[in-house]
Amino acid sequence: MKGSIVRIVLIGVAALGAAALPRGAVIVPAGDPAPREIRIVVKDMTFYVDGQDMPNPMLRVKAGERIRLVLRNEDAGMTHDFAVASWKVGTRALMDKGEEDALVFRVPYQRGTTPYHCTPHSEMMRGTIQVE
């Protein structure tokens, strides 16, 4: 019940946005640059930054920075996602090889580290985000 109210409110906001803004417009505060893109690939039940070899690498971000994290699943037949539980953000679960999902979020202003993981495989697919 709570969920459906939230959904209705969101639909309302989306409808308002669609009416008020030109097609394709994104609500961004004035002066806020486009989000920085981080591309993550899943291979052999391991996260990699696209094009790099380090398994489950530490991801470095800046406090308050906006990030567009793109996750691509290269594991055929296995379902993966990318989630940061402490920030309550995550991609949807990707079931097919080559499937992608993008997650846009703002890094909290608190510096330090927080873990990221794949929800179904959190014991072997997990790493750390460092907020600088």
Nearest of 119, 127, 50, 126 to residue 78 by alpha carbon: 119
93 lies in the site for another protein, by CB under 8 A? no
| 124 contacts another protein (rule: CB under 8 A) | yes
Q: Work out whether 56 is an interface residue with another protein (CB under 8 A).
A: no
Question: What is the C-alpha to C-alpha distance for residues 86 and 105, in angstroms, rounded to an integer?
Answer: 13
Q: How far is the CB of 55 from another protein (least distance, A)?
A: 8
- Residue 32 near residue 26, CB atoms below 8 Å: no
Cβ distance to another protein smaller for residue 53 or 88 = 53
Which of 24-32, 60-68, 73-81, 98-106 is the region at the interface with another protein (rule: CB under 8 A)?
A: 73-81
- Rounded Cα distance between 132 and 129, Å, is 10
Residue located via tokens 């019940």:
1
Q: Is 98 in the site for another protein (CB under 8 A)?
A: no
Residues of the shown chain interacting with another protein in the complex, contacts defined by CB under 8 A: 44-45, 75-79, 120-124
